């Protein structure tokens, strides 16, 4: 099967095997901002989570050019999650969910005026294509972003509460 999605080419995938990848980044109370991601299978089961501080080098570089821009960090969170879990996502259909409209629309458009976001988008496309990941991008409100709690100190219960909604069948996302 050869399919063109509008994002990139995918040579084979199982259309029934859908994963949902929620990503987020936050300027937290700590010195360095955090990024987080949650990978959920088609049944609503949490497969993996990721929560890490942004590297000091990246943070310093972003501060050199601007003050506290969140879109590059949100793009970085998505890129890191895809690169970390590329083996688990290989040849699968993945719905990418993010609460930052600049990132979502940049991915849909394929570009951004922000050089950091644009570079991140290009690297995301390359990661998707290199691993045969069939991606759909969707915006999700912050209140429904299950990865939000991973990026903010003390909000892990929020992440767990949203996960419980998904597991009970109250779908946060739609195909």
What pLDDT does residue 175 have? 44
Contact 46, 54 (CB under 8 A): no
160 vs 92, higher pLDDT = 92
Q: Which residues face 136 on adjacent strands?
A: 95
Per-residue CA distances from 165 to 45, 110, 171 (Å): 11, 32, 7
**pLDDT tens digits for range 33-82:** 777 888 888 777 778 888 777 777 766 766 666 655 788 888 888 998 99
Q: What SS3 state is found at 22?
A: strand
88 vs 46, higher pLDDT = 88
Could you give the angle at which helices 71-84 and 115-130 cross, rounded to 10 degrees?
20
Cα separation, 152 vs 103, in Å, equals 19
Mean pLDDT of all residues belonging to the chain: 75
Q: Which two tokens stand for residue 22?
A: 């929620």
Cα separation, 102 vs 113, in Å, equals 10
| pTM score, whole prediction | 0.74
Query: Above 80 in pLDDT, residue 1?
Result: no
């Amino acid at each position: 099967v050869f399919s063109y999605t509008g994002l990139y080419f995918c040579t084979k995938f199982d259309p029934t095997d859908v994963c949902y990848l929620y990503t987020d980044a936050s300027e937290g109370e700590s010195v360095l901002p955090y990024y987080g991601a949650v990978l959920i299978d088609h049944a609503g089961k949490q497969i993996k989570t990721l929560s890490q501080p942004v590297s000091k080098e990246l943070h310093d570089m972003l501060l050199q050019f601007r003050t506290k821009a969140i879109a590059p960090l949100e793009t970085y969170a998505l890129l890191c999650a895809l690169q970390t879990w590329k083996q688990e996502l290989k040849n699968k259909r993945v719905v990418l969910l993010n609460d930052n409209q600049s990132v979502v629309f940049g991915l849909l458009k394929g570009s951004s005026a922000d050089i950091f976001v644009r570079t991140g988008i290009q690297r995301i496309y390359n990661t998707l294509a290199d691993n045969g990941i069939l991606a759909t991008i969707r915006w999700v409100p912050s209140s429904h972003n299950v990865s939000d709690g991973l990026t903010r100190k003390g909000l892990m219960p929020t992440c767990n509460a949203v996960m419980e909604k998904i597991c009970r069948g109250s779908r946060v996302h739609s195909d």
